Amino acid sequence: MLRLGTMTGPTVWSEFGRLSQEYDVANLGQGFPDWLPPDFAVEALVSATIDSTKQSPHQYTRTAGHPNLVKQLARRYSKHMHRTIDPMNEVSVTVGASQALYLSLQTLVKPGDEVILFEPFFDLYQNQIKLAGGTPVYVPLTFVPYSEDNEEVTGGEWILEPEKLEQAISPKTRAIILNSPHNPTGKVFNVSEMQHIADSVIAAGPQCVVISDEVYKYIVHSSPPQDELLGVGSSCPGHVHFASLPGMWDRTITVSSAGKTFSATGWQVGWCIGPSNLISPIHQLLPYVQFCASTVIQEALARTLPKADEPYEGYDSYYEYLNSKYRRKRDLLGKGLKEAGFAIPDYDRTPGGGFFIFARITPELRRALPAERMGPEYTKNPAAPGGEARLDWALCQWMAEEKGVLCIPSSPFFSREKAMEGASDEFIRVAFCKTDETIESAAKALMGVR
Ligand code: PMP
Ligand code: GLN
C-alpha cells in the first residue's frame, strides 16, 4: 500500500508551479482561471460573510454538508438525474472534488481491490487508489490520428475500445473512474462509450461501481449525439451524467465541485452524490477527516447557485455565458498552437470539453529543442513516471525557461508502464482558462519555439 514517504515525489503541479514563479512566463499550466469569479458569486460570498442571522456562517456546520447547500445540490441533481434526491442522505459536501474522490476511494476500496482508470488520467487518481490499498488497472484510450501518413504528425481523437475495457474487468474490480469532460485530453465520452462502461459495471459483478468525476460538466464545447438514452430537461447542456444512464444511479458516485464552474478554484467546495448505501460510508468517515468543509464558502455557494440560472451578460444563464466564453478561448488558443506548429485535435469534428488542449509534439518541434536539453542534467525529472528525461518534460521546461510560455508535460497523466513503452511523452497540455491577453502573449511566445 502507498504510504507517505513512499509517494512518488513532487507532483508536476509543484514542479511547474515553481517554474512559473521563477521565470517570467505566460502561464498556460495549472488549470485555474486567471480572472475573478462572476460578480454574483463574489456578492454571495460577501453577503454570506457579513450575514449574522440565525446560524453564524463563521462556525462549524453539519459535517455531511451545510443544510442550505445540500438542499440546493439535491434540487439541481434531481433535475439532472430525473429522480428525487434526498439532500440529507444522498449528498455529501467535501473539500473540493479532490477530497470527494479521496473519500469515495477510501470507503470503497480494500487492499487487493482493483480500480480501473482510463489512460491518460488526471494524475491524482493513481496515488489516491494506492493510498486506499487498491491496485490501479489501466485501460488505454486509443489515440486515433487524423492522418496515418508517416510524414505528417496530426492531432486526433481519443477513443475507448470496448474490448480493452472488457479485458480489464475482473471480479476484483471495485470501481471504474470515469472523467468526462476529460482532463487532460478534453474528450467528452459519447453515450455508446458510456453504455459500454455501464455494461462492464454489470459484468464485473455487484461490488463494482463507477466514480464519475464531472468537474468540467458545465464546459462542453461540442457534444456527440447522445439524446437517445437521456430523456430531456438536463440543466447541464451537452453533458451526460453517467448516473442518469439506465440502472446506473445505484452504481455511481457522482463527484463534482464549484471551482471550474464559478472560476473559483480556491473555494474548494466539492461533493459526492449517489444512493445512500454509497454516500453513508462517506458520511461516517468524514468526521475523522475533518469536522466540515468551510461553512461560509458553502453558504456562499448556496446563494450563488440560484443566481447562475438567471440571464447573464446577454445570455439566458451564466452557464451559457461560460460555455460561449470557453469555446471562444479554445479557438483562440487552438489557432495559436496550430500556427506554432503543434498538432491539435480538430474540435469541429471531435467532441470537446474542459479547458485544456492536448497538443501533439511534431518532429519539427522535437528538432527545435536543443540537443543538450535532453542530456543528463535534465534527467532528474522526479514527477515523470519513469523518473528519466522525457521529451515532453524537457520541451516544457525549455519553453518555460527560454521561451516565456509555461505548459504541462503529458507524461504525468500516464502510468509507468506506458512511459516504458515510450508512448506518454508525445503531448503537452495547454490551458485556456486564461485571459485573452495571456493566451495571445503565449501564442506569440509559442511562435518562437521552432
Ligand atoms: N478532477 C479533475 C478531472 C480535475 O481536473 C481536478 C482539478 N481541478 C479535480 C478533480 C480537483 O478539483 P478540486 O479543485 O475541486 O479539488
Ligand atoms: N486540476 C487542475 C489541473 O489539472 C489543477 C491541478 C490540481 O488540482 N492538482 O491543472
Q: Tens digit of pLDDT for each residue in 366-416?
A: 899 998 887 665 545 555 555 566 889 899 999 999 999 999 999 999 998
Q: Give the pLDDT of residue 408.
A: 96
**Atom in ligand 2 nearest the alpha carbon of residue 30:** 10
Q: Give the pLDDT of residue 2.
A: 62
Tens-place pLDDT, residues 123-172: 999 999 999 999 999 999 999 998 877 678 888 999 999 999 999 999 99
Site residues for ligand 2, CB cut-off 6 Å = 13, 30-31, 183
Matching CATH number, 43-308, of 3.40.228.10, 3.20.20.70, 1.20.20.10, 3.40.640.10: 3.40.640.10
Residue that wins the pLDDT comparison between 276 and 52: 276
**Atom in ligand 1 nearest the alpha carbon of residue 268:** 15
**Atom in ligand 2 nearest the alpha carbon of residue 122:** 4
* 3-class secondary-structure state, position 271: strand
Q: How confident is the model at residue 46 (pLDDT cuts 50, 70, 90)?
A: very high
Per-residue DSSP letter, 402: I
The rounded distance, in Å, linking the Cα atoms of 38 and 320 is 13
Q: For a pocket test of ligand 1, which of 13, 104, 183, 187 has the largest count of ligand atoms closer than 8 A to its C-beta?
A: 183
User: 373 C-alpha to center of ligand 1: Å?
Assistant: 31
Respond yes or no on whether ipTM tops 0.95: yes
Work out the mean pLDDT of the chain and round it to a whole number: 91
User: 13 C-alpha to center of ligand 2: Å?
Assistant: 7
The rounded distance, in Å, linking the Cα atoms of 111 and 274 is 23
- Beta partners for 430? 357
The rounded distance, in Å, linking the Cα atoms of 40 and 308 is 8
User: 31 C-alpha to center of ligand 2: Å?
Assistant: 5
Q: Residue 120, preceding bond cis, omega within 30 degrees?
A: yes
Q: Whose CA is nearest to atom 9 of ligand 2?
A: 13
- One-letter amino acid identity for 44? A
Q: Which CATH superfamily is domain 12-36+315-447 in?
A: Aspartate Aminotransferase, domain 1 (3.90.1150.10)
Tens-place pLDDT, residues 411-447: 999 998 887 777 788 999 999 999 999 999 999 999 9
Q: How confident is the model at residue 51 (pLDDT cuts 50, 70, 90)?
A: confident
pLDDT over 90 for what percent of the chain?
Answer: 77
Q: Which three cell numbers stand for residue 261?
A: 464552474
Per-residue DSSP letter, 312: B
Domain edges within the chain: 12-36+315-447, 43-308
Q: How confident is the model at residue 1 (pLDDT cuts 50, 70, 90)?
A: low
Q: What Å distances lie between residue 280 and 37, 75, 176, 260, 285, CA to CA?
A: 32, 19, 20, 27, 9
Q: Flag whether the pTM goes above 0.90.
A: yes
**Atom in ligand 2 nearest the alpha carbon of residue 184:** 4
Q: Which three cell numbers stand for residue 124?
A: 491524482
CB 157 within 8 A of CB 344: no
Q: What Å distances lie between residue 341 and 23, 51, 294, 328, 436, CA to CA?
A: 23, 53, 45, 20, 20
Helix 436-447 × helix 318-339 angle, to 10°: 10
Q: Whose CA is nearest to atom 2 of ligand 2?
A: 31
Q: Which of 3-7, 80-84, 355-359 has the lowest mean pLDDT?
A: 3-7
Residue that wins the pLDDT comparison between 421 and 111: 111
Q: What Å distances lie between residue 409 and 248, 374, 414, CA to CA?
A: 35, 14, 11
Q: How confident is the model at residue 193 (pLDDT cuts 50, 70, 90)?
A: very high
The rounded distance, in Å, linking the Cα atoms of 348 and 157 is 12
Q: Give the pLDDT of residue 228.
A: 47
The rounded distance, in Å, linking the Cα atoms of 219 and 236 is 9
The rounded distance, in Å, linking the Cα atoms of 114 and 174 is 6
Other CB atoms within 10 Å distance of the CB of residue 127: 15
Burial class (CB in 10 A: 0-12, 13-18, 19+), 348: exposed
Full 3-state SS string of 350-387: CCEECCEEEEECCHHHHHHCCHHHHCHHHCCCCCCCCC
Q: For a pocket test of ligand 1, which of 189, 257, 271, 272 has the largest count of ligand atoms closer than 8 A to its C-beta?
A: 257
Q: Give the pLDDT of residue 318.
A: 97
* 3-class secondary-structure state, position 95: coil
- One-letter amino acid identity for 313? E
**pLDDT of 234 above 70:** no
Q: Which helix (H) or strand (E) holds 212?
A: strand 209-213
Helix residue ranges per DSSP H, 205-340: 276-289, 295-308, 318-339
